Amino acid sequence: MPPLPLDQQEDQEIAVPRSDIPYDLLPMEVQAEHLSSVDALIMDDLPSGRFTWTIENFSRLTKKVYSDDFYVGGYKWRILIFPKGNNVDHLSMYLDVADSTILPNGWSRFAQFSLTVVNQIHSQYSIRKESQHQFNARESDWGFTNFMPLAELYDPARGYRVNDTCIVEADVAVRKVIDYWSHDSKKETGYVGLKNQGATCYMNSLLQTLYHIPYFRKAVYHMPTTENDMPSGSIPLALQSLFYKLQHSDSSVATKELTKSFGWDTYDSFLQHDVQELNRVLCEKLEDKMKGTVVEGTIQQLFEGHHMNYIECINVDYKSTRKESFYDLQLDVKGCQDVYDSFDKYVEVEQLTGDNKYHAEWYGLQVARKGVLFIDFPPVLQLQLKRFEYDFMRDTMVKINDYYEFPLQLDLDRYSGKYLSPEADRSIRNIYTLHSVLVHSGGVHGGHYYAYIRPTLSNQWFKFDDERVTKEDAKRALEEQYGGEEELPHTNPGFNNSPFKFTKYSNAYMLVYIRDSDKDKIMCNVDEKDIAQHLRARLKKEQEEKEKKRKEKAEAHLYTIIKVARNEDMFEQIGQDIFFDLVDHDKVQSFRIQKQMPFIIFKEQIAREFHIPVPCQRFWLWAKRQNHTYRPNRPLTPQEENQSVGELREISNKANNAELKLFLEVEIKQDFRFVSPPLKTKEDLLLFFKLYDPSHEKLRYVGRLYVKASGKPLDTLSRLNQMAGFAIDEEIELFEEIKFEPCVMCERVDRKLTFQVNQLEDGDIICYQRAPKAGSGEQFRYPDVPSFLEYVHNRQVVRFRLLAKPKEDEFSLELSKLHTYDDVVTKVAQHLGLSDPSKIRLTSHNCYSQQPKPQPIKYQGVEHLSDMLIHLNQTSDILYYEILDIPLPELQCLKTLKIAFHLATKDEVVISTIRLPKQSAVGDVLNDIKSKVDLSHPDAQLRLLEVFYHKIYKIFPLSEKIENINDQYWTLRAEEIPEEEKNLGPHDQLIHVYHFMKDTTQNHVQIQNFGDPFLFVIHEGETLADVKLRIQKKLQVSDGDFSEWKFAFVFHGRPEYLEDSDIVCARFQRRDIYGAWEQYLGLEHTDNAPKRSYAVNQVSEVYNDYFSILQNRHTFEKPVKIYN
């Protein structure tokens, strides 16, 4: 398995804080947001330095290890590593603030840094990862949990561990940042920011940009809405509300109403999307919502321009044109120095010649010119910079961080209207002023967005970074967002003084220009009369409620919340909302009372509220018992009732919260008159009673009674029958509800013993039911109170979702938390009508990402359903299921591999799924493949190759066990061994042959491999001309195509071009190579399109879609959708 080339490591992983909890605790997007959110807060550069740590006896290290301390910028740092991984199968490595425990409160420092594991055989294979972070007491270390696979690190042939010694380097540049904890955006800038919901920075930067285009804001205000609309269900109203708050609030504004109006849930708010895509989707949605209103056509008036696509024949009089509209322009960054270069490229004329001639009506195939010219530009010009591209060579998305300038003033009339079509109106001057710069900081798989905006087009720029708004100078908004590289010189003595470079991952991603001739119209005034009266009234009311809550919070220390539970609450709740204990205190009436108020005055308030005279009220204090139940404990004494509310709360509550919980005991006679509660002595016990009906599986509250401690339950049976509505002599059984956590305890009450001997006291609960009649033959699921309470305690309604559709509930089942894996899949199979439950595999739910966990639940890997629903101390009610083709217990004993078999007789690839026992060897895999594919002849021998990024890194020995073979990141390829390879002469060589192109857009020439690599035999003394003939025959390439290829000996990524007369085997004599893939015969192609013109590579189309997913370690972001 090869080390990843450095140019492919940039976006492998988002830096995360070191943690001893599993990595999936936080969504990746949240980590990505936090990673770069401080990037542009930097004020002044401070010194930088490099520290090298040589770690001996590496394999003997087990737990986390710290390096020696080193100083950069006057601060003390150290490296932290987990040699065996931080709960992962990768080396985990972090930069740590060495003296974090003794620094003063509130400390923070910002650092840009890289961590490197040095390859001691070939330095170009050293693995280096960059990050940046604002270190503080909460996050004093930061780095990479999955720095590199342990298998690669501990493989002595790889070069990362030589003589059991590893070398680690840290490059650190320290910078000053503003302390934003005390920053008041409104006070400092006059503007407020937007709150981030999790990963909505991309949306916040776009909304701020649109808000600060006054004409757009005014149009939004004039969209028809009514006072009956709800913002969460109306995009226009939600956007109006958001803009109004941005205009009038003193603190940052939430966007939840707006995202709810989009139809998004919490999970959508934790998905980072593309700001350019959101811009298009939002404008299209608003354009649709504006139809038929006074602001219809606003989106087109602001953002719509037109260009003309043309094809013009050179030798005949024929021209084809097509007019198209655009809301934004996609400009190339790669290969362009600035915006003007991109426009030049946009209108560049393409010559259609040769096989690419244009078929002109009536004239046939003709040499022609093809291009684009602009008919008109919009008043607000949105330029989307193509910072993200799909790299066909690497088969992945990459971010283009190249240096790219954009001007403050943009003249699109330059060069006598070079960009304009003949029909363009030349009287309109297309000179634009830069209004805003949207920035992306990070990599292709995660990062952070923010915006630099000039709200009035003055010289003052403002940075809108989620909740924070700061004043910035023009240099930061323009030049520092050009991208490229930044060189940081070393200034610390004792360090390696060679400079090191950091790629600037923060760069402009979207530009908004406003045409000078439309400036007055676009930058118009927006005042109160533009805002609907109902909107102002609604938001004024919201502000008043917000102020009321703020005031209540500020005065909370002066008040106590009193929660009063009554008999009516128990009748209402027991058997419906609750089954255990007596009441849910969150659902009873509460009162906010000043602590200084005498309790006797509070009783007068209760009298007014419930119409219960003060002398008829008796209040009981609740107590939490040692068994975690919550019961009325004792009545208040007259002395306590003369105290203040605050003093009473202190008596009742040792937890020091603001609540006082009381039970109000009231006696009502048959004529519904209130009377004073009976005198209570120590002999009197207040008991509460619940009735259970096993035929209907119902439990309900029936009332309370005073009993004598020395009395017997037998004496109360007639009264209990009367309360239940039974015959006076009905036989009943009594059970005491003792506790329900962590398990239910409900024991039979002996009717012949006294209440005291039965250990009953004030506040206890007795559940009773009819005694089962002997010989009645009645059968009930839960025949008695204990079995019913056990059922209620353990029942769990689980929502099941098909694993392939993880956001859609398929069905729900009522299960028991005590169910085993077999019990659960049996219930699911019954619901689905499947005969074999063992073919159902379950996967748990990740409560943070709202997605299935990466790995399914192992068969009998957990004890109960409750264990399947737990995720990091949170309980879910979701399980995902899939239906397998073989039973799960059998599948778990097998290793499943996806293998691409290249047929020798056809230009095809067959994707085979191989399942074999885990102890099987590669030879067993190849034998299995033989039984499934067409071979050139029955005795054909096969081999298994490991291919990664179009290079062959390994030929598997037949005896190698398959258990540890990984087909998730590497392509496994099986093929027949050609006859000529079976009979190699003593001087014949088996070499690697790879296809490649040269990428000349970088600062240096870079090799990009593509297509299918293959092995090839070369003979002693054979010239390149001879080799070429055999390769052409093998690949079945036409003479025309083959003549355009160049042949080179490639060593360590550097091509040495060969002549036809060169002896090829003479080049393959090197022994100082790290792996066979480092030297190969390269076939250079000049066409920039992915090659499919030769036989071996034609098959790649069949499986590229499948393996491109496997070879990319991150999935692409989901498309933005606005549903309402």
For residue 499, cis peptide bond before it (omega within 30 degrees of 0): no
Q: Which residue of the set 307, 448, 490, 950 is catalytic?
A: 448
Say if residues 170 and 72 touch (Cβ distance below 8 Å).
no
Helix (H) or strand (E) segment spanning residue 1103: helix 1100-1111
Distance between CA atoms of residues 49 and 238, nearest Å: 50
448 is catalytic: yes
At how many degrees (to 10) do helices 235-248 and 533-554 cross? Answer: 60
Longest alpha-carbon distance in the chain: 120
Residue type, 571: F
Which residues share a beta bridge with 701? 690
Q: Which residue of the set 166, 201, 336, 847 is catalytic?
A: 201
CA atoms within 13 A on the CB side of 91: 29
Distance between CA atoms of residues 717 and 729, nearest Å: 8
Say if residues 173 and 416 touch (Cβ distance below 8 Å).
no
Distance between CA atoms of residues 894 and 916, nearest Å: 5
Which residues share a beta bridge with 500? 488
Say if residues 77 and 66 touch (Cβ distance below 8 Å).
no
DSSP assignments along 34-48, one per residue: HHHTTGGGEEEEEEE
844 Rama class: left (phi>0) / alpha (psi -120 to 50) / beta: beta
- Burial (0-12, 13-18, 19+ Cβ within 10 Å), 519: middle
Say if residues 79 and 96 touch (Cβ distance below 8 Å).
yes
Contacts of 26 (CB under 8 A, 6+ apart): 16, 848
Which residues share a beta bridge with 515? 432
Say if residues 80 and 17 touch (Cβ distance below 8 Å).
no
Distance between CA atoms of residues 703 and 689, nearest Å: 6
554-585 per-residue burial string, b: 16 or more CB within 10 A, e: under 16: eeeeebbebbbbbbebbeebbbeebbbbbbeb
Residue type, 145: T
583 Rama class: left (phi>0) / alpha (psi -120 to 50) / beta: beta
Say if residues 518 and 379 touch (Cβ distance below 8 Å).
yes
The number of beta carbons lying within 10 Å of the beta carbon of residue 824 is 24
Nearest to 123 by CA among 246, 240, 3, 249: 3
Helix (H) or strand (E) segment spanning residue 1013: strand 1006-1018
143-155 per-residue burial string, b: 16 or more CB within 10 A, e: under 16: bbbbbbbbebbbe
DSSP assignments along 880-901, one per residue: EEEE-SS-HHHHHTEEEEEEEE
| Beta strands 894-902; 971-976: pairing state | parallel
Q: How far apart are the first and last CA of the chain?
A: 48
Distance between CA atoms of residues 251 and 104, nearest Å: 29
364 Rama class: left (phi>0) / alpha (psi -120 to 50) / beta: left
Distance between CA atoms of residues 659 and 559, nearest Å: 9
201 is catalytic: yes
Catalytic residue ranges: 201, 448
